[in-house]
Amino acid sequence: MELNILSDGSVDFPEEELDIFDFCIAGIHSGFNQSMEKMTNRIKKAMGIKKVKIIAHPTGRIIGEREGYKVDIEEIFKEAKNSGVFLEINATPQRLDLSDLNVMHAKSLYGLKFTIGTDAHAKVSLPDIRYGVGVARRGWLTKEDIINTLPLKKFEKIMKEK
């Protein structure tokens, strides 16, 4: 389940009902004009929600359309490490969010692990995964750094932790 992170850092689904899901992905889809401090705190608050295990497209950029929103990516990396939340490498060709430089930095300084997601809304977009793999490779990640390459039992175990 992908949840929307609202302007105050809460999500668009009652937190007390999130237990019906194994885990949730959360991302910002509106309210892009907040200050850096508010945007950063918004994402960090969502990372503290028990069932949120992945933050989708963490900088919000759409290549050729809009810059990423103002966010202190260093603080997001620190919070990801502290909270056990994974960051998505969004493989949509228009996003490629996080960038190769972001993932290289996050891995080398914080030891973060990532997911690669296509953000596919139709099966025709599933092959876009190759673009996310390209970002990961350019960021010097290996399959051990990408949690959705793990065997199912190991993946399920990791997603239950937090």
pLDDT at residue 144, rounded to an integer: 95
Cα-flanking dihedrals φ and ψ of residue 50, to 5°?
-50, -50
Residue-wise DSSP of 35-75: -HHHHHHHHHHHHTSTTEEEESSTT--BTTTBPPP---HHH
Mean pLDDT of 18-47: 96
pLDDT > 90? residue 35: yes
The model's pLDDT over 123-159, given as tens digits with 9 standing for 90+, comes to 999 999 999 999 999 999 999 999 999 999 999 999 9
The model's pLDDT over 80-97, given as tens digits with 9 standing for 90+, comes to 999 999 999 999 999 999
Mean pLDDT of 18-33: 95
Residue 30 has a CB neighbour count (10 Å cut-off) of 9
- Token pair recorded at residue 76: 């997001």
pLDDT at residue 161, rounded to an integer: 82
What CATH number does the domain containing 56 carry? 3.20.20.140
How many domains does one find in the chain? Answer: 1
Structural domain that includes position 64: 2-160
Mean pLDDT of 1-13: 96
Q: pLDDT band at 162, cuts 50/70/90? A: low
Q: 107, 141 in Cβ contact below 8 A?
A: yes
